[in-house]
Structure 1
Amino acid sequence: MIRYPYLPDGATIGITAPSSGVQTELYDMLKQSINRMEARGFQTITGETVWTQDKAKSAPAHVRARELNRMMQDAKVDLLFPPWGGELLIEILEYTDFERFQPKWILGYSDTSVLLLALTLKTGIATAHAMNLFDLRGEKSDATTGMWRSVLATKPGSSITQYSSFKYQKEWKHDNPTPWVFHLTNPTEWKTISNNQEQLKGRLLGGCIDVIRHLIGTPYGNVQYFQEEMIDNDPIIWYLENCELSTTDLRRTLIQMKLAGWFANCSGLMFGRSEANRAVENYSVEDVYCDLSKDLGIPVIYDIDCGHVPPQMTFINGAYAEVDVKDGKGVVVQYFKS
């Protein structure tokens, strides 16, 4: 069964860096992010790993895992919120004491999605895929980003509805900061391979495909066990986002996921927007999605609000969802059912 954490008013946020920490020159941004959380009524506990970064990681794997384990076992901490993702979170999994984790939210995306997916698959504790802590350093949040707090405060047995964004960010403009952090300039359009309305129902699983693919064949990526033992063989809706994979590497990875059984009893797939989606010898990402839809005989929805092209919806790994896409707009209802 799925266990859903709950985010109370005045919650305590544990800030730790299971992947990358923060370089010295960006300390002011980190402090700003922490101050924003406290101004919104949260308490914060900041770990030591957040303040260090060397050799593509915040600290050696066992040090990162020890801090994560401590915060996940600390009854005072309600939410773990890394500053951002990184490259090498997978190094900590073998040192992570999943069996002793208390049900509490972990929130993030990119490399953090390795931890999110592994935790939900192994323990049935729901995890939250959305923005990073740094993305909330602004005075305000757009409507899509700002839903994270309401989603995490949804009580088990209840539901929460989210709507696709009106606009998304085409490019970062770090030299022109805004009160919202993001520069949302281009009209959002959720698309379907069928070019028709699509409706999906099932349990949500997903993350950044660049990194979660490395869970295949490990004790941390047993989707069959999760489906049989945790969700009573409910179908799965996969949401995936591509950070840096070429179109052909994306195709290879999706075939690997299929051959590994990750798409067995899957009711549909959703893909986030990506700047990496460039054609290789006339083979476009739309071709990839079309081939996948034909391979599996299921709907594919793409350019959704998920991933490295903000804003992002808050998707809960393990939650039962109903997704409706029509005329370029998307509605996602998540039910926090066990």
Structure 2
Amino acid sequence: MMRYPYLGWTGQTIGVTAPSSGLTEELHPMIEEATNRLQDRQMAVQVGQTVWTQQKATSATADIRADELMQMLQNPEIDAIIPPFGGERAIDVLPHLEMNQIPEKWLLGYSDTSTLLFAITVQTGIATAHGPNFVEMRSEEWDETTTAWRRVLATPKGGTVTQWTSDFYQTNWNHAERPARFMYHLDAATEWKSVDPNETELTGRLLGGCLETVRHLIGTPYGDVTAFQQTQINQEPILWYFEISEASATDVHRSLMQMHLAGWFDQAAGIVFGRTPGGRMIEDYTLTDVYGMLKEKLKVPIFYDLDIGHQPPQLTLVNGAQATIRIQGKDSRVDMTFC
């Protein structure tokens, strides 16, 4: 049975640790600014040592990263953990984590952080949250989609929380020129899409993350989806979600085929994909061709261009939660129930 953490509304402390990448010195002000913004919203912040260092595509050695993460997870004075951002090498940490010693505490993030989110939920049945990173909380105001992370993490077990499609999204990052009020340059209209326009609703247990990182859990104990379905969600079908960072169309194709051949999609309710700056066309093979291939092979609904991943803002999706996703124009929505 799934277990859901709970983050109350007042007097909460957020822990910030870097289980994948930390920040080089010139980026340190991003942490300080995000810390100030959370403090403005009546939250305390504890920043770990791994956040301030970065070398060899990682913040620290795997054992140091794992130790700091476990310390924050087990520290009763820390109520939730949000890494600064993703990175490249979170997978190194997994063998060093004491999975049976992880308490019910929210871990929130995306990109390479989803490697940890996926593994923890699959192995322990503790819900984890795929949503904004810590450095993306450093603006004076938060757009409605980003703000939802707070409502989601404050939903009690048995409760339901609704999130709606954004109106606009950001096509490209521009760290040198930030808008005055919000973090993102929201420059394009949002439209959630379905491969088959007649299919507009999906229901299942959420599970997913960054395609380029969670695919490497296939064949490991941290990617045993069959056991997860049997022991944690009573064989309910999985509503898969993926974000794509940089992979080309053919790389996405290969990854999805590997997941299919490994049995990940054997009991899938459907699959949803976030908007992506990746998906580069190879010859005449496009990302929409990939989605069509998957639709034909699996015979389940395939949605795409949702508010997930590297073209923000993004939804906060809870691994293990029961969810219904509806595409209905500007009223498109996600309803999650923590059961």
Q: Which amino acid aligns with 1:5?
A: P
**What does the per-residue CA deviation read over 1:219-262, in whole Å, with 9 as the maximum and x for residues that have no partner?**
11100000011000111000101101110010010000011111
Match of 2:46 in 1: 45
Q: Which amino acid aligns with 1:223?
A: V
Q: Write the distance in 2 (CA, Å) between the matches of 1:317 and 1:299.
A: 19
SS at match of 2:28: helix
Q: Write the distance in 2 (CA, Å) between the matches of 1:50 and 1:323.
A: 35
Moved over 4 A (4+): none
**If the length of structure 2 is used for normalisation, what is the TM-score?**
0.98
SS at match of 1:29: helix
Q: Write the distance in 2 (CA, Å) between the matches of 1:127 and 1:15.
A: 15
SS at match of 1:135: helix
Match of 2:332 in 1: 330
Distance apart, 1:129 and its partner CA: 0.3
Identity of aligned residues (%): 48
SS at match of 1:144: helix
Q: Write the distance in 1 (CA, Å) between the matches of 2:105 and 2:189.
A: 35
Match of 1:231 in 2: 233
Distance apart, 1:330 and its partner CA: 2.1
Q: Which amino acid aligns with 1:12?
A: T
Map 1:49-60 onto structure 2 (within 5 A). Answer: 49-60=50-61
Preserved CA contact (<8 Å) 1:209 1:240:
yes
**If the length of structure 1 is used for normalisation, what is the TM-score?**
0.98
Match of 2:155 in 1: 154
Distance apart, 1:327 and its partner CA: 3.5
1:193 aligns with 2:195: yes
Could you list the runs of 5+ residues in structure 1 that have no partner in the other structure?
none
SS at match of 1:310: coil
Map 1:1-338 onto structure 2 (within 5 A). Answer: 1-8=1-8, 9-178=10-179, 179-327=181-329, 329-337=331-339
Preserved CA contact (<8 Å) 1:190 1:329:
no
Distance apart, 1:136 and its partner CA: 0.5
Which deviates more, 66-75 or 305-314? 66-75
Q: Which amino acid aligns with 2:248?
A: S
Which deviates more, 249-258 or 41-50? 41-50
Q: Write the distance in 2 (CA, Å) between the matches of 1:287 and 1:272.
A: 15
Preserved CA contact (<8 Å) 1:189 1:329:
no
Distance apart, 1:278 and its partner CA: 2.2
SS at match of 1:326: coil
**What does the per-residue CA deviation read over 1:99-131, in whole Å, with 9 as the maximum and x for residues that have no partner?**
101100000000000000000000000000001
Which deviates more, 102-111 or 171-180? 171-180
Could you list the runs of 5+ residues in structure 2 that have no partner in the other structure?
none
Q: Write the distance in 2 (CA, Å) between the matches of 1:37 and 1:97.
A: 29
Q: Which amino acid aligns with 1:290?
A: G
Preserved CA contact (<8 Å) 1:197 1:327:
no
Which deviates more, 327-336 or 226-235? 327-336
Distance apart, 1:162 and its partner CA: 0.6
Q: Tell me: CA distance 1:329–1:293, structure 2 relative to 1, closer, same or farther (3 Å).
A: farther
**What does the per-residue CA deviation read over 1:256-311, in whole Å, with 9 as the maximum and x for residues that have no partner?**
00111111110110001111122211111111001101100100000000000001
Q: Write the distance in 1 (CA, Å) between the matches of 2:95 and 2:177.
A: 41
Preserved CA contact (<8 Å) 1:17 1:50:
yes
Preserved CA contact (<8 Å) 1:197 1:324:
no
**What does the per-residue CA deviation read over 1:188-232, in whole Å, with 9 as the maximum and x for residues that have no partner?**
000100123411111000100000000000011100000011000
Which deviates more, 327-336 or 11-20? 327-336
Q: Write the distance in 1 (CA, Å) between the matches of 2:81 and 2:156.
A: 18
Preserved CA contact (<8 Å) 1:196 1:326:
no
Total equivalences in the alignment: 337
Preserved CA contact (<8 Å) 2:83 2:134:
yes
Preserved CA contact (<8 Å) 1:160 1:333:
yes
Preserved CA contact (<8 Å) 1:191 1:328:
no
Which deviates more, 222-231 or 31-40? 31-40
